[in-house]
Amino acid sequence: MRGKVRVVSIGECMVEFAPTSNGQFAMGFAGDTFNTAWYLRRLLPATATVSYLSAVGTDGMSDQMVGFMTAEGILTDTVQRVPGRSVGLYVIQLTNGERSFAYWRSTSAARLLAEDADRLWSALDGADLIYLSGITLAILSAEARVRLMASLARARAAGSKVAFDPNIRPGLWSDAPTMLQSISAMAAAADIVLPSHEDEARHFGDPDPVATAHRYAGSGSTLVVVKDGPMPVVTLHAGHAERHPVPVPSAPVVDTTAAGDSFNAGFLASFLTNANLSEAVAAGTSLAARVIAGPGALVRTAVGAVP
């Protein structure tokens, strides 16, 4: 790895209320791209920096969120403050052991994270790795999506690598054609695409993970890494497809929240270090196995401390 690796993850972190055993709720902070940033911070050496590019309000809850990020070792100078807005919220409900989620996020400050091209560029300039997801794109206006993609193209031209998890969530998009077109366009403009086959099968109709990999590679993605729950991870790089079996986890599966987010962090941290595909997939599946053995998105027992 080069001396001082700089990672920037882009998206929305939310307040989380998770049920506790005594019938109350515990407050935390989570969100797909934030979860990946949190794991990356713990996996990468102290010389690396991990920044979160987002927007929050100027209220007390926003202060608490930024304070949490900072305490977890994530740089927040790329978190914009938007007066009059606040952060999004979700509540996890448990009904007969099944988790469901209720969201209050439609007016969150994070929706305004890409309003200013100069601010975007100053956050992305010089990044070695930039990470975002389909949720990052979904919460933006059409104009802001174009602005963000232009900044990402500029960063790539200057040497940054862009990694993208499509994380397809139809409820966040205005309509299906916009969703599929935006996700395909972003994947085509990314160096590494990290889809989950289940989502891709449902929305793009891919019959199997190899088809998902070929669809994204065919549109221009350099490296595609397709996750499929406990089934093998499929990679496609320079026309060469490979299946990587997922080891059976040694601990029981407790909660699959953030399985994909943590896989991505394990994969990317390893791939940044030595660019060996099989080792990077193994790092991803090994971290994901530890994360799904514990409750919640940010499983402290799955990774070391902030270096």
Residues near ligand ADP (CB under 6 A) are: 196, 227-230, 233, 246, 249, 253, 256, 259-260, 263, 285, 288-289, 292
Q: Compare residues 16 and 86 and give the one whose CB is closer to ligand ADP.
A: 16
Closest CB 266 distance from ligand ADP, rounded Å: 9
> For the chain, what's the residue count?
307
Task: Give the helix ranges, DSSP H, for the chain.
Answer: 32-43, 60-71, 117-124, 134-138, 142-157, 176-188, 197-204, 209-218, 259-274, 277-291
**Cα torsion angle, 230, 236, 242, 244, sign:** negative
| Cβ partners under 8 Å of residue 137, min gap 6 | 145, 148, 182, 183, 186
Active site residue 261: yes
- Which residues, other chains included, contact 44 with Cβ-Cβ below 8 Å and sequence gap of 6+? 5, 7, 50, 269, 272, 307
CB of 40 to ligand ADP, least distance (A): 16
Q: Which tokens is 208 given?
A: 């199997």
Looking at the Cβ atoms of 40 and 246, the one nearer to ligand ADP is 246
Q: Cβ of residue 219: shortest distance to ligand ADP, in angstroms?
A: 20
Pairing verdict, β 25-30 and 98-104 = unpaired
Q: How far is the CB of 209 from ligand ADP (least distance, A)?
A: 9
CA 112 to chain centre: 18
Residue number, 123 or 291, with CB nearest to ligand ADP: 291
Residue number, 112 or 246, with CB nearest to ligand ADP: 246
Question: Pairing state of beta strands 223-228 and 231-237?
Answer: antiparallel
As measured in angstroms, the least distance from the Cβ of 44 to ligand ADP is: 20
- d(CA 150, CA 158) in angstroms, rounded, equals 13
151 versus 285: smaller Cβ distance to ligand ADP = 285
| Among the listed residues 168, 250, 174, the one whose alpha carbon sits nearest the alpha carbon of residue 201 | 168
Angle at 129 between CA 266 and CA 190, to 5 degrees: 95
Can you tell me which residue has the tokens 């926003």? 62
Smallest distance, ligand ADP to C-beta of residue 196, A: 4
Tokens of 194: 């990290």
Query: In the complex with ligand ADP, which residue's Cβ is closer, 53 or 259?
Result: 259
| Whole-number Å distance between alpha carbons of 164 and 193 | 5
**Which is catalytic among the residues 32, 199, 228, 261?**
261
Residues annotated catalytic, as ranges:
261
